[in-house]
Structure 1
Amino acid sequence: MTSANGTITPPHVPFGHAEPVWVHFDDLDMMGIVHNAKYAVLLERGLTPYWAERGFSFENGRLTAPDVFHAVRELSISFRTPIRGTGPVLAHFWFESFGTTSAEYGFRLLSADGATVHAEGRRAIVRLDPATLRPTPWTDGAKAVGQALLRPESATL
């Protein structure tokens, strides 16, 4: 829900995290709906502040934690209902798995009230060693955040 000052209070999600993000004019195609390539950007706009608030970011040209150096291995998005126009939406994300060197997000892009699923998908990442570009284990700090995002086995959407 959007308050009088324009901030979004995300609805409760049963697991993971829902981060408010904004659709900007340049995210739209010529029909006034979000261009398909921008859905990944909207997810990134949700992930970035979530991790930054927990000490994992890229600031002033430097990583605040080594776990920030990771690459997307796979991204899959299924589109459900177009996002029309600019304004707030929610990026709801969680971990389906969190391994030694990789992790797999599940995610949904929702209307600001959480009632409409615009898209859903998965995003697999691998933590890399900056010198070798080979997979390397997550730090204990990333593991702690990752555990908090894990979807419980019994949880359903």
Structure 2
Amino acid sequence: MTTVTEPGYGVTIPVTIHFDDLDAQGILHNARYGVLFERALLAWWGERGWSYAGGRPTRPDAFNVIREYSITFHAPIAGTGRAAVHLWLEKIGTTSADYRFRFLSEDGTVVHAEGRRVNVRLDPATMRPAPWSDDARTVVKELLK
């Protein structure tokens, strides 16, 4: 996977739109945006050694849940092909991480959608919010706006 650093903040990660991502009108189904964002974000973390093996997180900070997710659609992505997800971290709190994202055309000239996703780190033993580690805070510095 290739990521291109945007000037000033975040990363842009290419994504592939497949036929089964499309709705009956031949445009990217609204529910697939969340899946594609998730794949882009997991790929970014995975390149840094934070992933899942055997269905379990490889590091404690990878055990987190989505608290909030919102998206605003601007222009449909029509057909199969390539697009890009520009993502960044607006803020990292004690236990939460406020991600922002934009779905762009492959050449970056069209904003198809934009949104926000807030993750909360959990302690797997208690299922209660837990602080992000210093390691995670160091890794996300390149994503901070």
Question: TM-score normalized by structure 1?
Answer: 0.87
Alpha-carbon distance in 2 for matches of 1:95, 1:138: 14
For 1:14-53, what aligned pairs fall within 5 Å after superposition? 14-53=8-47
The aligned residue for residue 134 of structure 1 is 128
What displacement does 1:126 show? 0.2
**Which one has the bigger strand percentage?**
2
User: Match for 1:28: what amino acid?
Assistant: L
The aligned residue for residue 60 of structure 1 is 54
What secondary structure, in the 3-state scheme, does the structure 1 residue paired with 2:142 have?
Answer: helix
Contact 1:11–1:114 at 8 Å: present in 2 too?
no
Alpha-carbon distance in 2 for matches of 1:27, 1:14: 31
Contact 2:11–2:143 at 8 Å: present in 1 too?
yes
Figure out how many residues of one structure are paired with residues of the other and give that number: 145
What displacement does 1:10 show? 4.7
What displacement does 1:132 show? 0.9
What displacement does 1:62 show? 2.9
Unaligned runs of 5+ in 2: none
Contact 1:72–1:125 at 8 Å: present in 2 too?
yes
For 1:77-156, what aligned pairs fall within 5 Å after superposition? 77-151=71-145
Structure 1 segments, 4+ long, off by >3 Å, are 7-14
User: Match for 2:77: what amino acid?
Assistant: I
Alpha-carbon distance in 2 for matches of 1:103, 1:66: 15
Contact 1:72–1:123 at 8 Å: present in 2 too?
yes
Alpha-carbon distance in 2 for matches of 1:11, 1:101: 26
What displacement does 1:74 show? 0.3
Q: Percent identity?
A: 55
What secondary structure, in the 3-state scheme, does the structure 1 residue paired with 2:119 have?
Answer: strand
